C-alpha cells in the first residue's frame, strides 16, 4: 500500500497567487481529513469528508480556502488568493469509518507551503 | 468544547531512561484515544490506540499507554528510551457522541540526551 499521497511536497508562491494542494487517500478509505500545522496553532483540522461529502468545514479559516473531493481517490485544497499567514504544513489524512465506529487516521507526508 | 491537553511542551530525558508523556481530555462520551509520533519533516505515524477492553495498550517501538477513565487521562510510557525516539508526540481523542474527527493535543517535543 502506497499510503496517503500528497503533492506537491513543497510549494513556494507569492502573495495573491492561487495554490492547489492535492491528496490521494488510501484505497478503500471513506473519510478524508485536511489539517494545517503551524508552530503557533499546532495541528488544526480544516475540513473533513465522508464518502466524498464535506461533513465539517468549521475549521476552514475563511472564504479564501476551499476543498473538494470529486471522487473517492482524490481531493484538493485550494487557497485563492494566498497570503503569507497561510504558510504552514498541510496534511491530508484518511481513514475507514463505518457507522459509529472510529478508526485511526493515516497521514500523508504533508505539503510545506511558503507564501512570500 | 471538547479538548485535549498535553501539559508538557518539551521534555528531555537521557538515553536509557524511562519516559512518561501526559495527556488529558475533557469529559464526554466514550473516548477513542490515540498517540501519534512525528519525526522532523515527516507526517504523523500511529503509535497505539485504545477503543475498549484492557486499559493498558501496547504499541509499536516499545511504547504503551494506560487509559484511566477516572482521571480522563491516556499517558504514554516507555521503560527505556532510545536516541531514535526523539520526535514530537501527539495525543488525539475522538468521542462516540461526536463526528468522525479527532481532536489533537498541542504535542510534546521529546529530546534525548546521549
pLDDT of the residue at B58: 96
User: Cβ–Cβ of A104/B107 closer than 8 Å?
Assistant: no
Asked whether the predicted pLDDT for residue B13 surpasses 90, the reply is yes
Q: What's the mean pLDDT in B21-49? A: 90
Q: What's the mean pLDDT in B44-51? A: 94
Q: Taking Cα atoms as reference points, which of A77, A85, A105 lies closest to residue A4?
A: A105
Most A CBs within 10 Å: which of B101, B105, B109, as the mutation test of the A interface? B101
User: Cβ–Cβ of A104/B106 closer than 8 Å?
Assistant: no
Q: Which residues of chain B are at the A interface, by a Cβ-Cβ cutoff of 8 Å?
A: 32, 34, 36, 42-46, 49, 51, 90, 94, 96, 99-107
Q: What is the DSSP string of A30-63?
A: -EEEEEEEETTTEEEEEEEEETTEEEE-TT--ST
Helix then strand then coil, % of chain B, to nearest 5: 10, 50, 40
pLDDT of the residue at A68: 97
Set of cell numbers at residue B52 = 475498549
pLDDT tens figures, A11-21: 999 999 999 99
CA distance B43 to chain A (A): 4
Set of cell numbers at residue A99 = 457507522
pLDDT of the residue at B95: 73
Q: Coil, helix or strand for B71?
A: helix
Q: Taking Cα atoms as reference points, which of A60, A50, A46 lies closest to residue A25?
A: A50
Q: How far apart are the first and last CA of chain B?
A: 41
Q: Coil, helix or strand for B69?
A: helix
Q: What's the mean pLDDT in B100-109? A: 90
Q: What is the mean pLDDT of chain B?
A: 92
pLDDT of the residue at B100: 72
pLDDT of the residue at A104: 86
User: Cβ–Cβ of B43/A4 closer than 8 Å?
Assistant: yes
User: Cβ–Cβ of A104/B104 closer than 8 Å?
Assistant: no
Q: What's the mean pLDDT in B54-60? A: 94
Q: What's the mean pLDDT in B15-30? A: 90
pLDDT tens figures, A79-115: 999 999 999 999 999 998 876 666 789 999 999 999 9
CB burial of residue A102 (10 Å; 0-12, 13-18, 19+): buried
Q: Given CB atoms, is A25 within the 8 Å cutoff of chain B?
A: no
pLDDT tens figures, A42-72: 899 999 999 999 998 999 988 999 999 999 9
User: Cβ–Cβ of A33/B101 closer than 8 Å?
Assistant: yes
Amino acid at each position: 500500500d502506497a499510503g496517503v499521497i500528497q503533492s506537491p511536497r513543497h510549494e513556494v508562491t507569492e502573495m495573491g497567487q492561487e495554490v492547489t494542494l492535492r491528496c490521494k487517500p488510501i484505497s478503500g478509505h471513506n473519510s478524508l481529513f485536511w489539517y494545517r500545522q503551524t508552530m503557533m496553532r499546532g495541528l488544526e483540522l480544516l475540513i473533513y469528508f465522508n464518502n466524498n461529502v464535506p461533513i465539517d468545514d468549521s475549521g476552514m479559516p475563511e472564504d479564501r480556502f476551499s476543498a473538494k473531493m470529486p471522487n473517492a481517490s482524490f481531493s484538493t485544497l485550494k487557497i485563492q488568493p494566498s497570503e503569507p499567514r497561510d504558510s504552514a504544513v498541510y496534511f491530508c489524512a484518511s481513514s475507514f469509518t463505518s457507522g459509529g465506529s472510529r478508526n485511526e487516521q493515516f497521514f500523508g507526508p504533508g505539503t510545506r507551503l511558503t507564501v512570500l | 468544547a471538547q479538548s485535549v491537553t498535553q501539559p508538557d511542551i518539551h521534555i528531555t530525558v537521557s538515553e536509557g531512561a524511562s519516559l512518561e508523556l501526559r495527556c488529558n481530555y475533557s469529559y464526554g462520551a466514550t473516548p477513542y484515544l490515540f498517540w501519534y509520533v512525528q519525526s522532523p519533516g515527516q507526517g504523523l505515524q500511529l503509535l497505539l490506540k485504545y477503543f475498549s477492553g484492557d486499559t493498558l495498550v501496547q504499541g509499536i517501538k516499545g511504547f504503551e499507554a494506560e487509559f484511566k477513565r477516572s482521571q480522563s487521562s491516556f499517558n504514554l510510557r516507555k521503560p527505556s528510551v532510545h536516541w531514535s525516539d526523539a520526535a514530537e508526540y501527539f495525543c488525539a481523542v475522538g468521542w462516540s457522541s461526536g463526528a468522525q474527527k479527532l481532536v489533537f493535543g498541542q504535542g510534546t517535543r521529546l529530546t534525548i540526551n546521549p
